[in-house]
Amino acid sequence: MTSNQNELSRFWVVRLNSKISPVDDFESSQYKRYGIRPVLVDANTPQDIIPQVAESDAILVVSTALPGEVVESLSRCRIISRLGIGTDKIDVEMARRMGILVTNVPGCFAEEMADHTMGFILALARKLPQMSRAMVEGAWSRSRGQAVQNRRLSSCTLGLVGFGDSARLVARRARVFGLRILATRRHLDNFSQGAEDLGVKIVDLDTLLAESDFVSLHLPLNQETYHLLDAAAIQKMKPGAFLINAARGAIMDEYALAEALRDGRLGGAGLDTFEHIDPFSGVEIPPDHPLLHLENVILTPHVAALSVEGMREVSEKGIENVATVLNGRWPRAERIVNSGVIPRFPLTA
């Protein structure tokens, strides 16, 4: 063990989500690499979390929400390391005010999310869930009646709402299938070599919704994107189009989507994230939600990001963020979520 490892072993490091996302052998090896001895905690409410993290020096978190009251209770914490990408469950502004770095691992699951999105596109386009049920039920005639309405993918348009890492990887995959690809983003006038290289046309959101046979969301959740696809936006979608969301559930209005699907306004949906269903709650009973009762919807329980390779990458880089800060150094700039934070304990380059 190096001198730095000896020093890190004295810090109180809490690793949340110990039950729903248990520490595996690879993650354990990364703690040993730095001499970190994490305290494993499973708690989901502020009153349960606060007593176990208030005196911690660092926190690693997978999916537990860390609202303002939790962050404000952290008397000496230096870093909250998100083992993933999205930080909408963390009060990042409160952390900034308290001098606590919030870090993540950008791009860590982009390949997996692109694969999952393409899986949704293919399954929806070929009506695979309906065809599977038809086989089980022996409903050959019904299946042919449904399948004859399928569209050839190379005649369709894919619209990407957001054009970050995962969207670019989806575009690369979709291009092979011959799809025409549109994308929209916050700054429409900025030149994007990536879009041009992939044959992607940048358009405004209304144009994308009106022309796309498949609309896929690739945005973080924040005040600007909450219910971006509300009832009015869904009404602007091309009749019979499919909506895909492996980003964040609250970017769309789930109940407006369910109504559009039930009325036949849209052709179907592939959803991995939800606003009103929490796969991380620890309660494993069938939820009461209208989307669960529609046969043209494919649902997965927030697993689009998961793979052996993705989990190893996020463990390696997320723990590296903690070790770097506890060693008194700044982590990589692209991994700092609350850029401009003045750390409560000085850091060097």
Q: Give 291's contacts (C-beta < 8 A, 6+ positions apart).
A: 254, 257, 258, 261, 269, 271, 274, 297, 299
Which one is catalytic: 27, 302, 320, 335? 302
Q: Give 10's contacts (C-beta < 8 A, 6+ positions apart).
A: none
In angstroms, the CA 62 to CA 305 distance is 12
Q: Is 248 annotated in the active site?
A: yes
Which one is catalytic: 15, 82, 168, 248? 248
Q: Give 236's contacts (C-beta < 8 A, 6+ positions apart).
A: 206, 209, 210
Q: Is 284 annotated in the active site?
A: yes
Give the residue numbers annotated as catalytic, written as ranges.
Answer: 248, 284, 302
